[in-house]
């Protein structure tokens, strides 16, 4: 943890999406094995990494398994999941694309048709903890998009799968759940096996092996984004509460030893207070898995002015941006690159992880410069129908043929000219 300036950040920020050669080669072997050997290879990796007593039959869970898991959780668990479901569902219903059509001045008719993807695979991490919230965040927009077949894979830990995760799948109406994780799960979705149905696109965060599998299999299967470690950037002023800021930092740091946390302010005295608070909490708190993240990936950034702050924020393009001030239209104009932006001291990022309604599957590692958080449109695709007749052909045939010949494509030009236009 150190206090740095804008120039240091601009010069030293490094990507976490680069994969080591050993991870890359391991994933390649797993993919090839599953492509060639199907269920036999799937079972081999499940036994190796998750459950030594697994059978191919118990990898595929039934609807009754999900119902039993739901019935086993507490009333409080059910109420929390249902509240989260309601808010996430409401937010995402505002996103569904609708088909439309129009006619231009040449009587050309265009029909833009939005349709859901047929089969999607959702990856739910399960190595370090269980994540029922990720079930909600991925399956709800898929269902709103009306995807016919929503499949989910989740690793078991020593043969045990979180009932809370399975209960979330039950609440969301997931069509099929598989007990399998890691690169092997992505490979199985990409190629399909006798037990695991092939998906057209996969979604959801995972470890470096999952991210690498998604990268290697892109093209064979669609992917959302390769996810890196979690991130938060906190923008604070001299009157901000340093204790609250420290907890905002720790809330991201506990995700992953490589989680990145930033605090930026024009007040150096505030940054010093935040540093002291973080150090105290790390030493005395019962919060686990934060030491390495804080030591190696926590940066307190001293900015000269508001312009500096905006430049830093847009350069980092954080997964989560928390602004400890009141909302102003100035923010809409100046904050360009971020996954989700939380405005106000009473709007901690953790609300967005669970019950705010917005999606917590977000772009990391500066990918917010070209990507958005997960939404309904990610589970859909559009097809354009073009209806043209004599009027259209008469007006645009000559320039079409001209441009085709300029590009050396004679058959293109002739395919237009061969059609007779009614006068």
Partners of residue 252 on adjacent β-strands? none
DSSP 219: T
- Residue 2 CB burial class (10 angstroms; 0-12, 13-18, ≥19): exposed
Max CA separation in the chain (angstroms): 87
List Cβ neighbours of 304 (8 Å cut-off, separation of 6 or more): 6, 266
Q: Look up 50 and say whether it is catalytic.
A: no
Indicate if 319 belongs to the active site.
Answer: yes
Q: Do residues 129 and 419 lie in contact, with contact meaning Cβ atoms separated by under 8 Å?
A: no
Residue 86's H or E segment, with its range, is helix 75-93
| Distance of alpha carbon 237 from alpha carbon 413, whole angstroms | 64
State the catalytic residue, choosing from 320, 322, 324, 360. 320
- Give strand pairing partners of 40: none
Q: What does the DSSP assignment read for 311-370?
A: HHHHHH--SEEEE-S---HHHHHH--S-SEEEESTT--HHHHHHTSSS------TTGGGT
Nearest to 363, CA basis, from 317, 409, 328, 406:
317
Set 50, 212, 254, 319: catalytic member:
319
Kindly list the catalytic residues. 319-320
């Amino acid at each position: 943890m150190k206090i740095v300036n804008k120039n240091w950040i601009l010069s030293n920020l490094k990507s976490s999406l680069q994969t080591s050669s050993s991870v890359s080669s391991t994933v390649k072997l797993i993919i090839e094995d599953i492509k060639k050997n199907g269920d036999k290879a799937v079972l081999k990796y499940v036994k190796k990494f998750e459950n030594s007593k697994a059978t191919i039959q118990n990898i595929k869970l039934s609807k009754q398994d999900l119902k039993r898991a739901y019935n086993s959780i507490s009333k409080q668990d059910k109420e929390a999941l249902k509240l989260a479901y309601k808010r996430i569902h409401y937010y995402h219903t505002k996103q569904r694309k609708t088909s439309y059509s129009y006619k231009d001045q040449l009587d050309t008719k265009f029909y833009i048709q939005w349709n859901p993807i047929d089969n999607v695979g959702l990856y739910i991490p399960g190595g370090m903890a269980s994540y029922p919230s990720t079930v909600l965040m991925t399956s709800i927009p898929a269902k709103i998009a009306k995807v016919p077949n929503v499949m989910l894979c989740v690793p078991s830990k020593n043969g045990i799968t979180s009932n809370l995760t399975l209960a979330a799948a039950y609440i969301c109406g997931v069509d099929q759940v598989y007990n399998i994780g890691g690169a092997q799960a992505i490979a199985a979705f990409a190629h399909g096996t006798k037990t695991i149905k092939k998906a057209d696109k996969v979604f959801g965060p995972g470890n470096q092996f999952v991210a690498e599998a998604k990268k290697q299999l892109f093209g064979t299967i669609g992917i959302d984004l390769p996810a890196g470690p979690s991130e938060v950037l906190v923008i604070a002023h001299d009157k901000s509460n340093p204790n609250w800021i420290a907890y905002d930092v720790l809330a991201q740091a506990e995700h992953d030893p490589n989680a990145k946390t930033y605090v930026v302010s024009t007040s150096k005295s505030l940054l010093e207070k935040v540093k002291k608070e973080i150090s105290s909490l790390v030493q005395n708190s019962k919060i686990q898995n934060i030491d390495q993240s804080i030591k190696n990936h926590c940066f307190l950034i001293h900015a000269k002015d508001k312009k500096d702050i905006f430049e830093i924020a847009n350069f980092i393009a954080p997964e989560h941006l928390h602004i400890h001030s009141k909302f102003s239209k100035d923010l809409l104009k100046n904050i360009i690159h971020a996954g989700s932006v939380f405005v106000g001291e009473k709007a901690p990022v953790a609300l967005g992880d669970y019950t705010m309604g917005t999606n917590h599957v977000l772009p990391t590692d500066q990918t917010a410069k070209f990507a958005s958080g997960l939404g309904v449109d990610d589970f859909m695709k559009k097809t354009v129908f073009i209806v043209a007749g004599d009027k259209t052909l008469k007006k645009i045939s000559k320039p079409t043929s001209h441009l085709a010949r300029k590009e050396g494509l004679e058959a293109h030009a002739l395919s237009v000219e061969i059609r007779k236009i009614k006068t």
